[in-house]
């Protein structure tokens, strides 16, 4: 029983490792020239890893001669473990990509010190807005109807934004 559990865990960890590795390779070689945002690409890679995860779990179960109930629990365990790790990795990656504080800390580490003028040259406010507009456009949330004019394409992120605004009012942030 313990060998089967370790095999299952090892199968899940292999797929997690391969997904993270494929994401790193994609970002290194294709990421900057891609039409997709890095976050959207990571979500796609995570979904593409699911068939491989289920395939490895199926092989593990088949070799272990598991009954159908144990196989269902194995699939549930594998899916929950995989989803949890990839969710954590997504947020770690997203934070490293988008957090201004991280970019400022990296700049200060590389330059030892900087004043406000240096930081504004490194990361101008206009770039922040352009970067966010570009990401929203790549995600298909907004569209540029004419140069400098944008409109909202879908309502999903608007709904999410309204939820966060309501939450901030409740918590009084």
* Chain segment 54-113, per-residue pLDDT in tens: 887 777 766 666 677 877 887 888 888 888 988 888 888 777 766 777 777 777 878 888
| pTM of the entire predicted model | 0.56
Q: Give the pLDDT confidence score for residue 66 in this predicted structure.
A: 67
Q: What is the widest separation between alpha-carbon atoms in the chain?
A: 66
Q: How far apart are CA 8 and CA 71, in angstroms?
A: 10
Q: How far apart are CA 126 and CA 11, in angstroms?
A: 46
* Chain segment 11-59, per-residue pLDDT in tens: 888 888 888 888 888 877 876 666 667 777 788 888 888 888 888 777 7
Asked whether residue 2 carries a pLDDT value surpassing 60, the answer given is no
Contacts of 158 (CB under 8 A, 6+ apart): 152
Map residue 30 onto helix, strand or coil. coil
Q: At what angle do helices 68-98 and 2-29 cross, to 10 degrees?
A: 30
Q: Give the pLDDT confidence score for residue 11 in this predicted structure.
A: 81
Asked whether residue 173 carries a pLDDT value surpassing 60, the answer given is no
Is the sign of the CA dihedral 166, 168, 171, 173 positive or negative? negative
Bridge-based pairing state of the strands 142-146 and 149-152:
antiparallel
Q: Give the pLDDT confidence score for residue 7 in this predicted structure.
A: 75
């Amino acid at each position: 029983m313990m060998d089967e559990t370790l095999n299952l865990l090892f199968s899940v960890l292999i797929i997690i490792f391969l997904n993270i590795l494929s994401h790193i390779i994609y970002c290194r070689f294709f990421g900057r020239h891609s039409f997709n945002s890095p976050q959207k690409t990571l979500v796609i890679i995570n979904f593409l890893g699911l068939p491989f995860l289920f395939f490895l779990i199926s092989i593990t179960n088949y070799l272990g001669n598991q009954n159908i109930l144990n196989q269902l629990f194995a699939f549930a365990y594998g899916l929950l473990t995989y989803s949890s790790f990839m969710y954590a990795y997504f947020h770690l990656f997203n934070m490293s990509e988008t957090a201004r504080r991280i970019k400022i800390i990296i700049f200060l580490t590389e330059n030892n010190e900087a004043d406000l003028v240096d930081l504004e040259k490194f990361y101008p406010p206009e770039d922040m807005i352009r970067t966010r507009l570009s990401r929203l456009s790549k995600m298909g949330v907004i569209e540029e109807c004419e140069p400098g004019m944008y409109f909202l394409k879908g309502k999903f992120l608007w709904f999410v934004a309204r939820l966060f605004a309501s939450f901030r009012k409740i918590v009084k942030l």
